Amino acid sequence: MIRKFISRVLGRKKPGKQNEPAVIAVAQHGLQREEISRACRRTVETLQENGYQAFIVGGAVRDLLAGLTPKDFDVATNATPEQVRHCFRRSRIIGRRFQIVHVNMGAETIEVTTFRGHHGEQGGNKAQVDDQGRVLRDNVFGSQAEDAARRDFTVNALYYDPTSETIVDYHHGVADLQQKTLRMIGDPKTRYREDPVRMLRAVRLAAKLGLAIDPEARRPIREMGSLIENVPPSRLFDEILKLLTSGHAVRCVTQLREEGLHHGLLPLLDVILDQALGERFVTLALGSTDRRVREGKPVSPGFLFATLLWHEVLSKWEPLKAAGEPAIPSLFQAMDEVLDVQAEKLAITRRIAGDIKDIWALQPRFEQRSGKRPYGVLQQPRFKAGYDFLLLRVGSGEVGNEVGEWWTDFLHASDEGRAAMLLPQAPGTARKRRRRRPTTDVTPDSAPE
């Protein structure tokens, strides 16, 4: 057992071995050529006809082998970006630091990448790293073996050639996939130091593919999790969004907590998931997102982050209200505080932050079910999102059932039906409000949308 372990560790590190990939035939791997999009096959064939090596690589091969539908198809080749561009009329080079070529085929765009080389010392090209060892630049062309070695997990380093229908496998990726293991290529600690996002990718891919993270790759995550703080917030945002919209958000978030990775990443999760109500709310929200993704429906990032951050807002808003602050201005104050803290960790774009605020700002307005106000709420551009959000609050027990039912009925009622549903105004409120309006900065109806 120990010998096997040692030989596995040593075996993987011997450079000679990495250069002899297994070439796996269709009888063993089972991936059918027809499962690859026509545009992608055409791209590979054209490159091959021009004398270059070309393969479908990465997530698409992995997902097809696992019985999932790939999101997109990537091609890897030994042709340089210039050479690729010369093979296709409708193509252009994008990216500055590491150039890739977008090939347009019909309605599809295929991303073609030149094999990347070593960035370690062996290759003679020492990569630029930051103080923590995070790789900043990584733009050297290389051989196919080198390209495979710099990918993250063995299941992501598979090269499928649709012409011969074989898979070139340098790191036992096909076997790992069959054994349902997510294994890091190389030393996991080094690979996490180079790019801490790989820890999040491990969690996401394991959840998406139903794989167990190999103990060697799993163990260091707990101690190295804090390195994620050095990742630029915009990259982190992209990765978290991928995770939350993977269709397996519940499983991903559960696993993030198990690995201790949620600390600092989504500060809200630390606090919220420890309260029963918060946990119920987030779980409901992520569950409904997962269902939507699996049904092929769009999910809005604004809605998602609004749900994840809501209980954080509540925890700031409620003490303000209890201290006698007026409800609406203090809600806006709580919203801004939460979004400011979050912005330091994750770069939530301005547009998404706007969506989030719209959804939150609608919530107190659902409490008003008398007079003209409910009609005004119906007219809000983000009404539907705000209403779906309200239903989640009802589902989690934060808001009474009758509020959700009232709005559902009001939404579907006729004009007369709606008029009949309006609750009587509390005595004196209409007059009081009218009198106070000119001197009040923000009332529910004049609150910024």
The residues annotated as belonging to the active site are 72, 74, 152
Determine the size of the site formed for ligand ATP (CB under 6 A).
13
CB of 289 vs ligand ATP, minimal distance in Å:
16
Identity of the amino acid at 421: M
Nearest CA-CA partner of 65 in 40, 28, 38, 22: 28
CA distance 81 to 141: 10
Q: Fill in the per-residue mask, 131 to 170: x = in contact with ligand ATP (CB under 6 A), - = not in contact.
A: --------------------xx---xx-------------
Residue 173 interacting with ligand ATP (CB under 6 A): no
E-assigned strand segments in 63-180: 74-77, 91-94, 100-105, 108-114, 158-161, 166-169
Determine the size of the site formed for Mg ion (CB under 5 A).
1
Dihedral of the alpha carbons of 62, 68, 72, 77, in degrees to the nearest 10? 20
CB of 156 vs ligand ATP, minimal distance in Å:
3
Residue 59 interacting with Mg ion (CB under 5 A): yes
CB of 356 vs ligand ATP, minimal distance in Å:
24
Residue 59 interacting with ligand ATP (CB under 6 A): yes
CB of 60 vs ligand ATP, minimal distance in Å:
7
Residue number, 201 or 262, with CB nearest to ligand ATP:
201
Residue number, 29 or 365, with CB nearest to ligand ATP:
29
Identity of the amino acid at 408: T
> What length is written for the chain?
449
Q: Fill in the per-residue mask, 239 to 268: x = in contact with ligand ATP (CB under 6 A), - = not in contact.
A: ---x--------------------------
Other Cβ atoms closer than 10 A to 414: 8
Helix axes 233-244, 301-322, angle to 10 degrees: 100
Nearest CA-CA partner of 17 in 204, 169, 166, 160: 169
- Segment contacting Mg ion by CB under 5 A, of 52-60, 129-137, 217-225, 348-356: 52-60
Other Cβ atoms closer than 10 A to 23: 12
Among all residues, whose Cβ is closest to ligand ATP?
A: 59
Q: What is the Cβ-side half-sphere exposure of residue 364, based on CA atoms within 13 angstroms?
A: 21
CB of 106 vs ligand ATP, minimal distance in Å:
21
CB of 16 vs Mg ion, minimal distance in Å:
30
Residue number, 21 or 59, with CB nearest to Mg ion:
59
Options 21, 58, 81, 386; binder of ligand ATP; rule CB under 6 A:
58
Residue number, 59 or 225, with CB nearest to Mg ion:
59
Based on the number of CB atoms within 10 Å of its own CB, is 342 exposed (0-12), middle (13-18) or buried (19 or more)?
buried
Contacts of 325 (CB under 8 A, 6+ apart): 333
Residue number, 156 or 307, with CB nearest to ligand ATP:
156
CA distance 134 to 252: 24
3-state secondary structure of 140: coil
Question: In the complex, which residues of this chain contact ligand ATP (CB under 6 A)?
Answer: 58-59, 71, 74, 151-152, 156-157, 195, 197-198, 201, 242
Question: In the complex, which residues of this chain contact Mg ion (CB under 5 A)?
Answer: 59
